[in-house]
Structure 1
Amino acid sequence: MTNLSSACAVNDVAGDVLLTRAYPAPSHPYRTPFQRDRERIVQARAFRRLAGKTQVFTSRASDHFRSRLTHTIEVAQIARAVACALGLNEDLAETLALVHDIGHPPFGHAGERALDRCLQKHGRRFDHNLHALRITEHFEQRYAAHRGLNLTLGVREGIVKHSKDYSAEQYPELACYFLDQAPPLEAQIIDLADEIAYLTADLDDGVESGLLEISHVRTNVEILARCFQIVERDHIGLAEKFLFHEALQLMQNTLTNDLIANTRANLSAAKLTSLSAVRAHKARVATFSALVESERLQEKRYLYDTLYTCEALEIEHAKAEEVVTALFEFWMENPEELPEGYGEEVKAEGLARVVADYIAGMTDAYILLQYAHIKRNPRLVRR
């Protein structure tokens, strides 16, 4: 099959600028710039901490549930497969997948919502994409000559733009990331690889937890039902749980194959044959087909209605929000209790941002230890 997108990959002359770094770095004899970025991310402390952060279920519930780290690895596998099939730069796609969730705080989306609400009271917002950029540019300290990981411009742009668009008017500090242009295809596929990974994994973990039943999933999720019917026909007599696992794998492949085929069709229909043409295209090129997109939305609604907002998880979410909010308020009222050395950061960034940064870097287990500590502290203001 003709590879329609090879000229659109970040490996042509137009993509050379994306290899630049904020600080000069000598070339490596056998590793590409994006391979080096990948390894810098994997060796970062913030990346390792993803092992202790919630995806959907806290690790305290079961060692078998996905953490933010195992989810990230699954996204990277899918992203690299899609990039390979489309003739894109696989190293860039994999690197962006590995870094895409590095800015998430503890307790998953519940923790992020709580942190954002806390910051809004001080005229700020919490955005995990922009926090990921702050981590890689400022907080990680691996080099003697500068702060940050000194990632290539291509990776930094992808961190910012893989899942949403930012306007130059609202975010002038991001002007260097080509905000008036679409991101390269390597960045565009990350958000959809993320969707494929969690749509599959959350059904798996939901059934494993006992909160979802296979029969109910089959009745209400069309794409899974279709896949289950196929594997049931091919594996007569197999136990339901094994059929379910086979159906999940087929569903993931179905979503991945559709993304590849539809993106290739979009490139052909719009006659996009270069990176600059992709950048100038008004709409994102990496998309699912209309049928699969409708099935994706149906499954996503199902997961929200039956899993993410179920009573058991809502109790966890409420606890997460209580912990994040109490700690934020405690350190806002008692900044001297922050770790030594944060004073200069407070002068530069303001107390609210520094407190949010400190909390966002914590694992689930560590933030609970901090909460237990301040619960015993009489200076904690109870609301």
Structure 2
Amino acid sequence: MRASTQRVVTQDGAIVTTSHPLDLAMTGRGMLPITTLNDARGDGQPSMLMTRTGAFRPDAEGLLRTDSGLVLMGWPTLPDGTMPLVARDTSAALEPIRIDTNRPVSDPTTQVMLGANLPALETLPTGSGAALPLKVEYFGNLGTSESLDVTFIPDTTVAAGMSNAWVVEIRDSASNDAMIASFRVTFDDSQGAGGALATVTTLTGDPYDPATGSIPLTVGGGRIDLAIGVPGGTSGLKQLASSFSPSNIAKNGSPVGQLLTVEVDAQGYVMATYDTGFVKALYKIPVVDVPNPNGLVAVQGQAFKVSPASGGFFLWDAGDGPTGEIAGYAREASTTDIAQELTHLITTQRAYSSNAKIIQTVDEMLQETTNIKR
């Protein structure tokens, strides 16, 4: 008899739902990139292993690792949460994923969308001419709360009828309330597009971009793009015969917040949620695939490494190409049926006992034949 082992890597196990967001499993072809704890703590480039599933938890150093010491790896994102261009046929850009649970984080505002209705009757010659103030909060680079003070001044200089024109002035609290931009806007009064933005003329500051509908503002902490709408569009500034109403003001950014939870979405992004409501992508986990998964070499801890039989690896985005998605709150069950394997073991044992009995019987018959000759 000769014993042999065979590992069928391509045979997927059932996905079992768990209660922890960092229990990860693959829902199709592909594997998660990991490395050993010693490599993750070293100064050099960590070696890349791979696994199908794992219960990853942050340790005292913030490394996402399993109990057996396998550390999850991913590509770090840019400060704005987007992914840079990386090589897919090498692991050089992969880093051990480290979560700083006790470090406060802020997110400065870079975009503000300004939506408001300006009262058309105020542009009549009989209008009051009073300026309409609006304060818009934004967050500075250090998490401070700042504001853009926007003033809408109606044009009442047209002798007859509405001018449909306003002068908009913007002051910044982080710049000692200095005026950082001003522009003149006019609105369409035609039957088909009445109330829509018609033209924007820059008076001071950076020029308006009609393609994006935004004006770059230089505030105390850097640059903010103020979106007021494109000419003829349905969003942004409008002018109708109604009261002044800031109806849709939105911005990105957040004040200083503490980490609440970390989850991994189906595309492999490691998403951190803070107590201020700020959600940021910290890493992106690729999916590792090789031409022949059954040729991978098994190592300790349900991990694998490439071999000449498996072929070289390629790092896919989760769900792209031949690979599946990454499932959080899930583990992959074993593909081994214990009851069936015990049944096979008992059958093999009985067959071995029967064969041994046959050999014993033959031996006794030969012994009896020898005795007869004597």
The TM-score with structure 2 as length reference comes to 0.23
Q: Which one has the largest radius of gyration?
A: 2
